[in-house]
Structure 1
Amino acid sequence: MVNSSNRDLVASYLGHSFSTLLTTYVEEHYDINDENRQKAEFIIAFYRYAFVGIMMDVMTKDPEDTPSEYNENPEYYVDLILDTIEHDITDNILMNVAKPLKDA
């Protein structure tokens, strides 16, 4: 469980790390140009805040108050979030504004 004195530090670290990961993914798989950069940056920011919010919620709750799946296999939920993001980006969001560079 994350105590309140470290909450901002943990949230900042998670946000920065996740944003870097997602930015790298988008830049490697899509042709991001001046025309669609603002939309891509918004999408990255949206998912950054969603990811950090979910992770902070899980980490700040008493383990007895969270579903056992969070405690037993947190990687599953991180993978689920990343899979959701990948499908949203490739299937719904950037397809209209960014041409894939290669099969994702």
Structure 2
Amino acid sequence: MKTTTELIDVMNRAEAGERLTVRVEDDTYSGEVRETHYAAPESDEEGVVGLDLRIAGGDRDGERLEVRSTAGSNTQKFSRPVVRFAAGDGTEHEVLDLSPSEE
């Protein structure tokens, strides 16, 4: 399991078109980065670092997976990233590993 800092570093370096693999407790997803997001925590707004993956293969082929970490303006420390499916029920799962893939 990677540290929060290691996961956020991967997210910060990710670019559209790159392929990543995301591992959560019960599943592993691979896909292509479609979009990246970054907003620094401001005095009255939450910060976010994130990316959207288009899943390739498996039961969720073609679905969009959102990977996000947030930071409150009071702490400015980003939380461990979580994932959720854009078309899902809003359930979030903590990211255990995030790494470039060659698939």
Establish whether TM, by shorter chain, passes 0.5.
no
The TM-score range, normalised by the shorter chain, is under 0.3
TM-score in terms of structure 2 length: 0.26
- What TM-score do you get using the length of structure 1 for normalisation? 0.26
Compare CA radii of gyration and give the structure with the larger one.
1
